[in-house]
Structure 1
Amino acid sequence: MSKKKHGGPMGGGPMVVTEKAKDFKGTMKKLMEYLKPYRIAMILVFILAIGSTAFSIVGPKLLGKATTEIFNGLMSKVSSSGNGSIDFGYIGKIAIGLVALYIVSTILSFIQGFVMSGIAQKVSYNLRKEISKKINRMPLKYFDKTTHGEVLSRITNDVDTVNTTLNQSLSQIITSVTMLIGVIVMMLSISWEMTLGSVLILPIAMGLIMLVVKKSQKYFMDQQEYLGHVNGNVEETFSGHNIMKAFNREEETIEEFNKLNETLYKSAWKSQFLSGMMMPIMTFIGNLGYVLVTILGGWLAVLGKITVGDIVAFTQYIRTFMQPISQAGQIANVLQSTAAAAERVFEFLDEEEEVDDVTEGVNPKDVEGAVEFKDVHFGYNEDKIIINDFSAKIKPGQRVAIVGPTGAGKTTIVKLLMRFYELNGGSIEIDGHNIKDFTRDNLRELFGMVLQDTWLYNGSIKENIRYGRLDATDEEIIEAAKLAHVDHFVRALPHGYDMELNEEASNISQGQKQLLTIARAILADPKILILDEATSSVDTRTEVLIQKAMDNLMKGRTSFVIAHRLSTIRDADLILVMKDGDIIEQGNHEELLKANGFYADLYNSQFEKEEVS
């Protein structure tokens, strides 16, 4: 089960407060950096948008000419007692020209959408790829305080939001700007007086838009933030579904989800409501424009300054003129949501990484496996040290057992050995080299791990074993399986080594999963081996098989064995007894029993309990 930020019956802790301080300009600037490689395509989109918009803008002017021709013809008939005529040939040419213009505009718009979709998908692809790489470079301490659902939300919801904006809003921005400029030019060509009257409504429109955008910004950020919390809650609940059912925590879980869902609902409702206000506001302003144009146009027509067709065309341009302004308001809201999503992505990408102290470092092939801990100090929080003055020296090929009560720091020691966390003091050396003298890749190449919590993925048994060494042949996989005492049961399964494990690998037993992880470690052929509670959750018979498999695995390797069952580590060359982060005793099994100290008490109490039971 992962830890949670949002708290509740599955995790505990207070609810996270949404951050208010957001860098909109900085975030959008970073986003534009991802568009730089596609500059040529963006220029093409811009040209296509201009072409598409220009062809569509000319339409009302031509339509106005046709209207004027019809009006003049009718008026001529009235004034000349029916002798006037309408030039239908001229009108037909205009109609053909209009159809051609709109067809060309549609084709250019289609190509523009196709190119822009490609750009948006490529940017999203690059963002997801960077996040995937980033996850592998981040220290484990980040995931100790962040739920899996929140990380997934950044890869899915946040990147999808960015993708949608680039695909739709960016094209709309280009089209809207082009249309606004083009419409103003066409309106000026008809009447500067009417154009001036129309432009006067712009400050009102922009003022209302900015007011709505300012109010909605916070709610869009809240919406994106709590969407991550809801995802984290759902992921965590279903990953521990059996535990939740076993403890009858359905009602508490639903209550916790409802709280998060309610918070998401409130922020989403407010953001969408404010966003939805744009259209009514712009419709109202547009209607004001129609009234102004009708009155002013009628007056100018009476004066003979413009024709009836010009009024019709100008009315169409007013409608078109209000469209990009209305879109600008909607786009402004979408950009706020995008900035919130992009900022969450960039925050993740800017998180502290594991940095190697060397570029090449010690060659892992030259390592024999000697390990030394020198006055190691460590705490997951710097103000709370849990490992104090830990010192131990292990020779190559030795089998080392680490024992002690729960919370003594046994597992922490092996995490430090693999440099999952940085030391607060002291050093760890392998063959006399500080572990910082290795790159992390080279350091971890030395180790093989078999943990209590087995990890197998959705795939065939063969591929799960091959995870230990991706270039291994099928023959090497089968040989590793035989050494791990797993071959016999695999061949008894449907499809054998090609059997597919489900997502939780629940279609095989816990013991079988453990044996498969041992086979994977054998295939990896590491110099140093770590076995952490590898037999703690299996039956006695399976434990014997696992013990035999581990014996095969540990031959000729420096091995660290962590076990609560002290009977499993009697054959260790060195036993380190830990208590409260310190080594209080060390020696082999016989030596520690003779010392009659803490280890002897631990060992004897285990058998006393067995006798009582």
Structure 2
Amino acid sequence: MEETQNLSRQKKDLLRLLSFLKKYKGLLITAFVFLFLATGCEMYGPIIVKKFLDNYLMKRYFPKNEIVFLFTIYASLLLGKVLFSYFQLLIFQKIAFKVVQDIRMKVYEHVHSLAFSFFDKTPIGTIVSRITNDTEAIKDFYVSVLSTFVQQIVFLVGIVIAMYSLDTKLATMCLGLIFIIYFVILTYRKKSFPFFMEMRKQLSNVNAKLNEHLQGMAIIQAFNQQKRLQKEFESVNSAHYNAGVKTIRLDSLFLRPATDLIYTIGIMLVLSFFGINSFKNPVEVGTIYAFISYMERFFEPITQMMMKLSLLQQAVVSSARVFDLMDEDQLAPVKAGNEKPAITTGKIEFKNVSFAYENDHKVIHDLSFTVKPGQSVAFVGHTGSGKSTIMNLLLRFYQIKEGTVYLDGQDLSSFEEEELRKNIGLVLQDPYLFVGDIKGNIAMYNENLTIDEIKDAASLVHANEFIEKLPNGYDEEVVERGATLSSGQRQLITFARTIAAKPTILILDEATANIDSETEDYIQSALTEMRKGRTTVIIAHRLSTIQDVDCIYVLHKGKIVEQGNHQELLAKQGLYYNMYLLQNKGSLQLSES
């Protein structure tokens, strides 16, 4: 039952791979024309040799003009085969690379549309493996396997036709060998599918582990855990090796050895046929040569295809993994309805919102609050209280199933994605910079920004003071994640990036956590300017950074338990008061006593 399902899935995925060729019909037709011409040249060659052997050599008859004519035709066929084979191979390879490029872009674009819930549960290394390693295996299918199979099948058909033109009975007997080969191929596919699936799975595990260890290299070295993690990596690497060994054993049994055995049987069959017939009727030497030549050429494409079966199976298995990713239906929330509301004032309202990341374990419960246009509010609370969840829902990273979030009086779900992203600016606690230059990172939200606008944004947050001291200024190279810059410098650039976008709503997720005291003073003054005319939502851990906001919401276990400004909350001597004392080592209590 399982084997039948595997074969059905393989067939489905194979047909889906072939469907990507529809886009290149014109090039395919051209390639096939050259392929048929090359095959015709190849097939007619032995016929010319047969004529020479039977009509001239065996009769010792050598008319100069006719011999030269035969030689010219034979040489022309060889040259034609080379030229036509070159052009058909070139076109097939071009189509292959184009198709793989299309698949890789399609899966990459689909990944961009997936929900955060998918990335929460899927290791990044696994996704990278599918977009790179698995699509590379698919490339081998188009570049090596498909072109080889198409060429060799056409070649095989040509050989069979040529063999039938020489002897129908013997050709039919030789054709029967194809059924034996088909049985071998079918058995190989059944047996190898689980082995190749396991091998690709283990390769994903290797990539996932490697990605995790490289990103955490500083922690690994700081805690001297190199040997332990090397053992972990050795374990997953060995699992991949063991899966690979199983496929090698299968290849060693079913591919070349099986083909050679069938070929030997075929030669024995042909020689026996001519040997038995020679007792009854004379056999022409040219006919024997031609048939033996065709027999060798008959098995040449079969051998070529058998040797590509391993790559074919890898490609089919990899395509299943890529198509699973392409078909992943955990999509990011999208606009609902036909209306196209716009964000103008930045009013935010949560109304009876409850949310759980998974199962029924809710992280916020029946949450309701309103942030007026231009108002600055902060959310504080212990870890797990639901602060970041509010930010995620406001950015529509997750689908809201209970309650409603409104922007300017309109349901959050009714807004176009572009409208949300251009009007909501986000600065995270962990500043993320992309490979490129500083100028490009600041202008990430709007690539059409002028250099003056980029500099104005940097000046507002005092980032220009360190940028202009760099050797290349705003053209300074930024390596992966901005590793050559300090955490404070990276954060200043992300501030400049957000300001440059001129958002209506500003979300700050503890944006000053990684900044030194002097830089924080710059940021706080910049934040005052940034918040003017903008609705600002601050996710805060350090209470000293939010003392001047209009309203502070204190969260506990997903519920708002206190709200008010800094002084009002201190006066209540509740949860906020205790948090403030904890962060300030009881200084407030001492000053009051």
Q: Same fold (TM over 0.5)?
A: yes
> d(CA) in 2 for partners of 1:204 and 1:461?
64
Partner of 2:238: 262
Alignment of 1:121-520 (within 5 A): 121-276=97-252, 277-352=254-329, 353-358=331-336, 361-364=339-342, 366-520=343-497
**5+ residue gaps in structure 1?**
1-18, 74-83
Unaligned runs of 5+ in 2: none
Shift of 1:369: 1.1
Q: CA deviation at 1:331?
A: 4.1
What amino acid does structure 2 have at the position aligned with 1:574? C
Cα 1:551–1:468 shift into 2, 3 Å: farther
Say if 1:122 and 1:600 are closer, same or farther in 2 by CA, change over 3 A: same
Quote the offset at 1:94 in angstroms: 2.7
Instruction: Classify 1:228/1:610 alpha carbon distance in 2 versus 1 (closer, same or farther; 3 Å).
Output: farther
Contact 1:120 1:166 in 2 (8 A): yes
AA aligned opposite 1:25: K
Q: Higher mean Cα deviation, 374-383 or 174-183?
A: 174-183
Tell me if 1:26 matches 2:44.
no
Answer whether contact 1:449 1:521 (CA < 8 A) is retained: yes
Q: Distance in 1 between matches of 2:507 and 2:236?
A: 40
Q: Which digits, 9 at most, give the CA deviation of each residue in 1:76-109, with x for residues without a partner?
A: xxxxxxxx65556544433332221011111111
Give yes or no for contact 1:375–1:390 (8 Å, CA) kept in 2.
yes
Give the TM-score taking structure 1 as reference length.
0.91
Percent of aligned pairs sharing the same letter: 34
Distance 1:445 1:373, change over 3 A: same
Distance 2:512 2:294 in 1: 78
Residue of structure 2 aligned with 1:599, choices 565, 576, 583 = 576
Deviation at 1:325, TM superposition (A): 2.6
Aligned AA (1:488):
E
Amino acid at match of 1:292: L
* Contact 1:217–1:333 (CA under 8 A) maintained in structure 2: no
Give the Cα separation in 2 of the matches to 1:334 and 1:471.
46
**What amino acid sits opposite 2:568 in the alignment?**
E
Distance 1:65 1:147 in 2: 66
Aligned to 2:558: 581
Q: Distance in 2 between matches of 1:162 and 1:218?
A: 18
User: What TM-score do you get using the length of structure 2 for normalisation?
Assistant: 0.94
**Residue 88 and residue 278 in structure 1: after superposition, are their counterparts in 2 closer, same or farther (change >3 A)?**
farther
**Which of 3, 10, 22 is the aligned partner of 1:36?**
22
Provide the rounded CA distance (Å) in 1 between the counterparts of 2:181 and 2:92: 29
Q: Distance in 2 between matches of 1:228 and 1:515?
A: 36
Stretch moving more, 106-115 or 192-201: 192-201
Q: Please report how far the alpha carbon of residue 562 of structure 1 lies from its aligned counterpart in structure 2 after TM superposition.
A: 1.6
2:40 aligned with 1:54: yes
Residue in structure 2 matching 1:116, options 54, 71, 92 = 92
Q: Which residue does 1:527 correspond to in 2?
A: 504
SS of the residue corresponding to residue 504 of structure 1 reads helix
Would the alpha carbon gap of residues 207 and 135 (structure 1) be closer, same or farther in structure 2, given more than 3 Å must change? closer
Letter in 2 for 1:145: K
Structure 1 vs Structure 2 CA RMSD? 2.1
Q: Deviations over 1:258-283 (max 9, x none)?
A: 22212211222222332343111111
Deviation string, structure 1 residues 493-550 (Cα, Å, up to 9, x no partner): 1111111111131211111111111111111111111111111122222222222222
Structure 1 residue identity aligned to 2:525: K
Q: Which residue of 1 aligns with 2:31?
A: 45
**Contact kept in structure 1, 2:333 and 2:399, CA below 8 Å:** no
Native 8 Å contact 1:578 1:585 kept in 2? yes
Provide Cα deviations, 1:383-442, integer angstroms capped at 9, x if missing partner: 211111111111111110111111111111101111101123111111111101212221
C-alpha displacement of 1:216: 1.1
Matches within 5 A, 1:71-86: 72-73=58-59, 86=62
How many residues were matched structurally? 583
Q: For residue 395 of structure 1, what is the amino acid of its counterpart?
A: K
Q: 1:300 Cα deviation (Å)?
A: 2.8
Structure 2 contact 137–311 (Cα < 8 Å) conserved: no
Which shows bigger deviation, 524-533 or 91-100?
A: 91-100
Q: What is the Cα deviation at residue 21 of structure 1?
A: 8.7
3-state SS in 2 of match to 1:561: strand
Match of 1:608 in 2: 585
Instruction: Name the stretch that deviates more: 527-536 or 156-165.
Output: 156-165
CA contact under 8 A between 1:52 and 1:104: conserved in structure 2?
yes
2:487/2:514 contact within 8 Å kept? yes
How much does 1:202 deviate? 3.0
Residues 370 and 395 in structure 1, CA contact (< 8 A), matched pair in contact too: yes
How far did 1:606 drift?
Answer: 1.5
